[in-house]
Amino acid sequence: MEMSELTINKILNLKIKTITPISIGTDKGDVMSPYADFVFSQDGKMLHYLDLQKVENVVDQQQKIDEYVDGIKSGMDNNRSDFNLLRFLTGSLKLDLDEITKNEVQQHGLKPGDKRNINPTIKNAGLPYLPGSTLKGALRTAMLYNWLVYTDEGEKPLLENAGLLNRISKMEPFKKREINAIIEQLFNEDRLLGNLKSPFGPDARFLRVCDSVPLKKSALSVYALRRIRLKPGTGKSAIPQVLEAIPPGHILNTSLNIDPWLKEKANNTTLAYLVDGNFTEMFKHLSTFSTDCIANELYELRDATTRDFEKEVDSLISFYEKLQKRANEGAIFLRLGFGKTVNDNSLTLALANGLKDQTAFNTFRSTVHKLKRDSDLFPITRSITPDGLPMGWVEVTV
């Protein structure tokens, strides 16, 4: 079906293809522990996710609950604990590992015996999927960016934002609440879309995006990420994480449509494509944002001065050059979930690309992110997979 044939009342089916691993964190703060939830396979290439109910049943039957609980507790309280879950299961309990395995997952970058927690990706009944809210947020950001940077109508609030930045830069020091209020005012989507709040809650917005169809359990891997620096230094940085993720090459099927309620609200020329259901135009807007994000990432990587991670930076440059070539040829990319930088996850680049000079962009960076020099790279670290890929890139097709 051609996108131009679609109308406001029709549904657009989307295919989201993972280009690099994607991990959408849960809001529960759950982690999977090597002292309770999983063990390594004999060759170390796979992880056995344990069926905890079966394990607990055997522990109870063999009256070894104290040994089991004490071992788990010692591990969670002290990551240097010598409690070995696999030895306990196959030795003390004499269990066959296959009988208590719920799922086997390929792992990348962990060494057998590593005692690091795994941050799970969001799942439904144990099956990984892409939440509609995640995709909707990325779509909305892309559309707002395009409006601010590439339309005459969006230029006015962008100029007003630049003036606001000049005023607030003289009001330091800020509290976190004040900074968040400033960011919200700088990039207020109501300027484009009008006040779309309704009795149905904050999700009643102009786009309705469905959760994707869940994938199979086999569409999961675990990645021990590495953190690299773009310039020399020993400043504090977050500890590299171990994440569940959907590997490259998987296709997530979902759909979207435009809320008919918007017809009365979207009455200006900028949003005409929404009223008419012109999804072709909407995807052009997505393309401008992703293309500009890719170009900015290449700019920062090429400006890196690190010697410790030259090979990794060169590999990232090669990846983004290929992605940029495809984007310039019309492919639509988005970045979702873990791994996004502040530029992928906000409208900061609108200040850099939508105004004639970099003053407002640099003022924003110095005020909000406390950068001392206009030339400072930010952020100066990147998280990469063991084979050098960034996280979170997907391609959108219909």
**Is residue 231 situated within a structural domain?**
no
Expressed as residue numbers, the domain containing 57 is 38-117
Regarding whether 107 and 190 lie in a shared domain, the answer is: no
Regarding whether 61 and 206 lie in a shared domain, the answer is: no
Q: Are 323 and 333 in contact (CB under 8 A)?
A: yes
Reading the block at residue 240, the tokens are: 């590299």
Regarding whether 142 and 111 lie in a shared domain, the answer is: no
Could you give the number of structural domains in the chain? 2
Looking at the chain, list the stretches that DSSP marks H as alpha helix, in order from N- to C-terminal side: 52-61, 65-77, 85-87, 132-150, 152-168, 176-186, 190-193, 272-275, 279-302, 310-328, 348-353, 359-368
Regarding whether 353 and 275 lie in a shared domain, the answer is: yes
Regarding whether 103 and 179 lie in a shared domain, the answer is: no
Domain boundary among 55, 83, 117: 117
Instruction: Going residue by residue through the chain, which has 398 residues, state the pLDDT in tens, using 9 for 90 and above.
Output: 344 444 445 678 999 999 999 999 987 778 999 999 999 998 999 999 999 999 999 999 999 999 888 888 887 766 667 788 999 999 999 999 999 999 999 999 999 888 899 999 999 999 999 999 999 889 888 888 988 898 888 888 788 777 777 776 666 666 666 666 767 777 777 766 666 555 444 444 567 889 999 999 999 999 999 999 998 876 555 567 999 999 999 999 999 887 665 555 554 556 666 666 677 777 877 889 999 999 999 999 999 998 899 999 999 999 999 999 999 999 999 999 999 988 888 888 988 898 888 888 888 888 777 888 888 888 899 999 999 999 999 999 98
Question: What phi and psi values does residue 182 have, to the nearest 5 degrees?
Answer: -65, -45
pTM to 2 decimal places: 0.89
**Is residue 155 situated within a structural domain?**
yes
**Is residue 289 situated within a structural domain?**
yes
For 119, the 3-state DSSP assignment is strand
